[in-house]
Amino acid sequence: MSAKQRIFLIVGPTASGKTAVSIDAALSMNAEIVSADSIQVYRRLDIGSAKPALEERRWIPHHLMDCIDLDDTSYNVSIYRERAVSAIREIAERGKVPLIVGGTGLYVNSLIFPLNFSAAEPDNELRSRLLAVEQCEKGSLHRMLSEVDPASAQRLHANDTKRIIRALEVFEKTGVPLSEHGGDFANSRGADIEFEPVIAGITMDRARLYERIERRIDLMLEQGLVDEVDSILADGFDPALPALQGLGYKQLIMFRNGELSYDEAVELIKRDTRRFAKRQISWFKRDKRIRWFSLDKYGDELSAAVIEFFNGADIGESQP
């Protein structure tokens, strides 16, 4: 049996600095980057998705970025996996190194875990925790489900707590939305992992991360995020499109619709992004294969530390 294709991954929460490290690593390793970001796949969502600068993308080829139209509602994790696997194989065939970069845990997991729905056994502890969240803030579970499984969220009423919890449970346990259960992934039960993953995670002190998130959002607004939203709306795109439910876009559309003031929209973007980052950290820290690199520890040497790890040195931390 031939050896599995080795792939390298850089993961972590939003605003942690994955892009900068990935550019350094790609230049050092003769790599091409495969995006694992569920918003960067869409054309026209540039500022709010924090796509790498065009100049950086000229230096390093980026795959699965700017490849889907805004009004394409058929795109899902199954399609992502198919295209990502194809890109990885093509990169390797050219003698380059596949480097997967992003914070969408579902996309990452589709490449580095066997997809097995039978793993979604009932988890009473998880169910109790989710129920407690809903009791503290009614409607919160439906909003959570909207982010990870929009199709199921659209199908389920916000008050259908039992089924919402089950949908979240399936997603937590398998990394695959309940709405994908009957798709191609269902035929992959018990399949082995296709690749040999080497995974670096970027982390830092939580307060520092939140400061970076707020600065990043302020910068996006300075760069013209509102104008980007206005241009999309002016061209007649439906605000309810899945692509426009991403952080920043959804809140600014609410501002333009008169549902929020500008200041309220900005504060909501920052709050929701902090919450999203917290969920990303919780998601990735479950994978014990990830070697964590703290910006607090490595500072300006962060990229060098990740590159050294990729080249075979056993450094980094086991938990964020």
**pLDDT tens digits for range 231-269:** 999 999 999 998 999 999 999 999 999 999 999 999 999
Classified by CATH at the fold level, domain 5-113+193-310 comes out as: Rossmann fold (3.40.50)
Summarize the confidence of residues 50-61 as an average pLDDT.
89
CATH 1.10.20.140 domain span(s) along the chain: 118-180
pLDDT at residue 100, rounded to an integer: 98
Distance, CA of 290 to CA of 258 (rounded, Å) = 43
CATH 3.40.50.300 domain span(s) along the chain: 5-113+193-310
Q: CA angle at residue 261 from 159 to 266, to 5 degrees?
A: 85
3-class DSSP assignment, residue 294: strand
Residue 8 reports pLDDT greater than 70: yes
Q: What is the helix (H) or strand (E) element at residue 172, kind and residue range?
A: helix 161-174
Q: Dump pLDDT digits (tens) for 171-215.
A: 876 667 777 654 333 334 345 678 999 999 999 999 999 999 999
At the top level of CATH, the class of 118-180 is: mainly alpha
Of 19-28, 58-67, 107-116, 119-128, least confident by mean pLDDT is 119-128
Sign of CA dihedral 225, 226, 231, 232: positive
Distance, CA of 33 to CA of 22 (rounded, Å) = 8
In this structure, the number of other CB atoms found within 10 A of the CB of residue 168 comes to 23
Distance, CA of 261 to CA of 255 (rounded, Å) = 6
Residue 249 is classified by DSSP as H
Residue 275 reports pLDDT greater than 90: yes
Torsional class of 9: left (φ above 0), alpha (ψ -120 to 50), beta (otherwise): beta
Give Cα 226 distance to the centre of its chain: 22
